[in-house]
Structure 1
Amino acid sequence: MTERTAHPARAAQAPRAATAPAPPAPGLQPVGRLRSDWPRTFADRLTAPLPGVRALARFAREGAVRPRPEGLRDIPLLPFEPGPLPPAGPDTLAVTWAGHASWVLRIGGLTVLTDPVWSRRIFGTPARLTPVGVRWEDLPRVDAVVISHNHFDHLDAPTLKRLPRHTPVFVPAGLGRWFARRRFTRVTELDWWEAAELDGVRFDFVPAHHWSKRTLLDTCRSLWGGWVLTDRSGRRVHFAGDTGYGHWFAEIGRRYPGIDLALLPIGAYDPRWWLSDVHTDPEEAVRAHQDLGARRMAPMHWATFVLSSEPVLEPLTRVRAAWEQAGLSRDDLWDLPVGGSRVLVP
């Protein structure tokens, strides 16, 4: 099951959840922490209910899961400009967009992959619209991986199989067993607002407005969320994973002031009645960036897989327009092509 066919839609009458009181900040957890006492379900963390019979019937009736033919005509115009990875030392903060939610993040001397998907296709969807922006053989040693949730376009077994099993992996609560079954030996499971540290880089797991499901029997059995990575000098990157818009962005910004770069999703949002609770549209992504108080934003989660019905190039044109309308500096919108890199100068 993929997000294209299984995403929950907002019930028409369901309001957004009110901001929850902030729990106390926990201490750091050791790398390689696995727990067996997670709750059976994390459904109480949902922002909105999963779709009911009426919503599913409407979705089946409308069948709006692909762009119209005119919305696919711009596939040749999707930005794809692979280049060499920038040199990176211990003080470098650099990002390279491999496509979708997959980034090569250089921070604090580490190379970190986010939601790595190097496969040509994922279960239930057509092949990639653009190739992977970084060849696997061109990657430096991967020092860590962060996973936002277990949907197939974010948790890709064939890609993860390429990694050495001693690679440190940071995952949401309840997902550690998936990695343990595949013989990964340094898996750290975290709940929202928990953190771990690896070689001076701090990994904080933070909330998102989303859900989890990989099989017919595991709905919300593992958690979902984003990550805030902080290096020794206090520079911060927020990787939002997959999320709708809502109150968590302001809370994340309050707890982690001075985010230097927010990696935010802008695609897979149409039809809104079906996807608004779990996927930000471009305008909402700009609002989320402002709620976070981040200095820069790099869009992601578009131009790679066909997961919804908006025209393939529309996310980019809309996020640029929303950015300009918000009066934000054009230099702070890092709208990279697939394969593109940017380096944050100290």
Structure 2
Amino acid sequence: MSRKLKLGVVGTGNIFRSAHLPAWLEHPEIEVVALCDVVQERAQKLADEHGIALVYTDYRELLRHGDIDAVDICTPNLYHSEVAVAALKAGIHVFCEKPDAVTPEKAQEMAEAAAANGKVLMTMRNNRFTPASQYLKQYINEGHMGEIYTGRCGWLRRRGIPGKGGWFTTKELSGGGPLIDLGVHYIDLALWMMGNPKPVAVSGATYCKFAGTDLSDSEHSQFGEKKEEGTFNVEDLATGFIRFDNNATLQIEFSWASNVQEEGTFLELRGTKAGASLVKGELKLFGETAGQLVNIQPIMGNRTVDAHGEHIKHFVQVVQGREDPILIPQHGVDMIKILTALYQSAELGAEVRL
């Protein structure tokens, strides 16, 4: 085992407490030494619970601590790039909750800061680390699907608006609604499976039809802090179409609220040798063998995997020099370019070229 890495945390809200913290605490090569949050009481309570000595309300003070190897950023989206660039320039590795940034320019600044300072920059893409995703990626890499030429993906919630009235639904702070919140997950997964083709054009549409409802049937609506009479100036549904330089295409659909039967995620890929369907984590493959059409359902076993934790383990392995990253900063830059162009297309009512 290499020496322990000392970790500082910026942002101690629900996503950190529920999805990041358990993995950091369980990792034998990580020591959480400092927490930072603009709500001091929130960070202090967490520090007291886990014996963490240092608590800050200003991330700059945390970065000046001088004995931190890596930071985990779980702030509202607007501040991801600001904190990441400052940390990278201070010679500190960065793990960041998605999305990478709220503009392509800010994502590019992050990538350039990582390269200039020789530090690891990685943004949460936990869906790459589920057993089904790992299996499908290997299946594709072995050539079983042939050329993947089109696909569709989405995450639809019936009623699952997070932190209504707070930063999630305030465009200045979040960058948008479900497209940037949920789309980053499954668009990334689709692009990764397709070999990260270069996007060349997008067409998007956004809608806001449920800003007046307080109904919820999704556990995900518990993220963020609701504010009565707060701001809601983002979409609750986004649809779109992405075209790539190899003529492949991808259809997308993401909602926090829409009249569908139930919440669900899906990724569908169509290749010349086989197709794949990943719905609510269940993987099925469709092809032909010995002159007959066949359906295949891999036996994944009963493994329960914390995908967030698996990504954090991978980050540590990369920082310690034992693995090559499966996610590089350029993937984040490309992602934010796609999302930004989809929003621009929705405003213009026309296709946007990249």
**Would the TM-score normalized by the shorter structure come out above 0.5?**
no
Larger Rg: 2
**Which one has the bigger strand percentage?**
2
